[in-house]
Amino acid sequence: MQLNPANTGDFFGSIRIGGIYRGQNFTPNNIGNFRTPLIYGDAPLKGLRRKDWIGLGVTLYQDQAGVANVTNSGLFGSAAYHFAVSKDAKTVLSAGVMAGYAQLKLGDKDKLVFADAIKSGNASTDLNALSTQTVKDLDVSAGLTLKTPLNNAMNMTLGFAVRHINRPSKLSLLTSGGSSARKRLNYSFNGAFDLALNERLTLTPQFMFQTTAKQREIMVQALSSYKLKKDNPLKLQAGLGYRLGDAAQILLGADWGNLRVGMAYDVRVSSQSNIDGGNGAFELGVAYIVKIYKNPKVDPVIFCPRF
């Protein structure tokens, strides 16, 4: 849902719950480290037409950085409508929107060290310019996705999303004279192609491109999924990826029925590897789909007439 709000409620089941933990830029004494836990939940509801459905979801995240625990957190709600384009509902066009508040807070500013304090041996005068009050602003995003089969062996998914539609302010911790600038629009485009090579093996090449102002990010991945036995729900996943100009990626995961777990690790290949020793970031994710079945209502049948 964070990638594209149109993904809200896009699954087979009653309720989906999950979480992701991301760690980045590990250095001695946790200086400059980023730690981001995220939890989410969503559910599909009946749509306006028989084969359409609506998705509703909520996402909560908290990003902490550095020894001073600068915390960037947010609570967002999302909604999507999934429109069955084809009669068999195999081609689906989805539109979604996400809105919520992002907030910024400084944990312990006394742990920050500035150049003037190192030179003079006294407390830095810059500390007085920092506020420990929480600042927040409303942020709105929207997106579209299209899912369709290309042939009997391949399915395609394409997505487009726009973030910061309402141009929220750039949150600042300065007590005065902070920037009044607005966040730039962020555009992202992603795609995936699920190719069934046989009954057990599936290959999924995928990509993501996003841009903000003059900044660009391009990422490509190839993920394979292998079912160990035909009568066993366990599927193992492995793959590789590359974020252009920055890092190579190692991808591992598994599906067991309604449970999905995954791990990704970045190996830094850019010049920043001189700082963090090539240790980029890692992510751990888990998702579980709850399926609630309705009890059938069966009318009693009298096999023998009563006399």
Record the pTM: 0.85
Beta bridge mates, 201 = 226
User: How confident is the model over 3-8, as a mean pLDDT?
Assistant: 97
Per-residue model confidence (pLDDT) at position 255? 96
pLDDT band at 293 (very low <50, low <70, confident <90, very high): confident
Report H helices in the chain.
Answer: 115-120, 273-276
pLDDT at residue 19 tops 60: yes
Per-residue model confidence (pLDDT) at position 46? 94
Count CB neighbours of 133 within 10 A: 9
Domains and CATH numbers, the chain: 5-290 (2.40.160.40)
User: How confident is the model over 82-107, as a mean pLDDT?
Assistant: 93
> 143 exposed, middle or buried (CB, 10 Å; 0-12, 13-18, 19+)?
buried
Per-residue model confidence (pLDDT) at position 189? 98
pLDDT above 90 as % of the chain:
61
pLDDT tens track for 165-194: 999 987 766 655 555 678 899 999 999 999
Closest CA to 71 of 108, 29, 21: 108
E strands in the chain: 15-24, 34-46, 53-65, 70-84, 92-106, 135-149, 154-163, 186-196, 201-212, 215-227, 234-243, 247-256, 259-268, 279-290
User: How confident is the model over 108-131, as a mean pLDDT?
Assistant: 62
Closest CA to 140 of 104, 102, 172, 170: 102
Tell me the average pLDDT of the chain: 87
User: How confident is the model over 107-111, as a mean pLDDT?
Assistant: 66
Measured distance CA(224)–CA(205) in Å, rounded: 9
User: How confident is the model over 269-278, as a mean pLDDT?
Assistant: 66
> 228 exposed, middle or buried (CB, 10 Å; 0-12, 13-18, 19+)?
exposed
Per-residue model confidence (pLDDT) at position 179? 53
Per-residue model confidence (pLDDT) at position 277? 60
Per-residue model confidence (pLDDT) at position 230? 82
Per-residue model confidence (pLDDT) at position 76? 98
pLDDT at residue 100 tops 70: yes
Per-residue model confidence (pLDDT) at position 209? 98
Better-scored residue on pLDDT, 68 or 274: 68
Per-residue model confidence (pLDDT) at position 301? 66
Contact between 128 and 112 under an 8 Å Cβ cutoff? The reply is no
pLDDT above 70 as % of the chain:
80
pLDDT tens track for 146-164: 999 999 999 999 999 999 9
Per-residue model confidence (pLDDT) at position 139? 96
Contact between 19 and 41 under an 8 Å Cβ cutoff? The reply is no
User: How confident is the model over 33-37, as a mean pLDDT?
Assistant: 86
Per-residue model confidence (pLDDT) at position 66? 73
Give the torsion through C-alpha atoms of 48, 53, 56, 62, to 10 deg.
Answer: -150
DSSP 130: B
pLDDT at residue 44 tops 60: yes
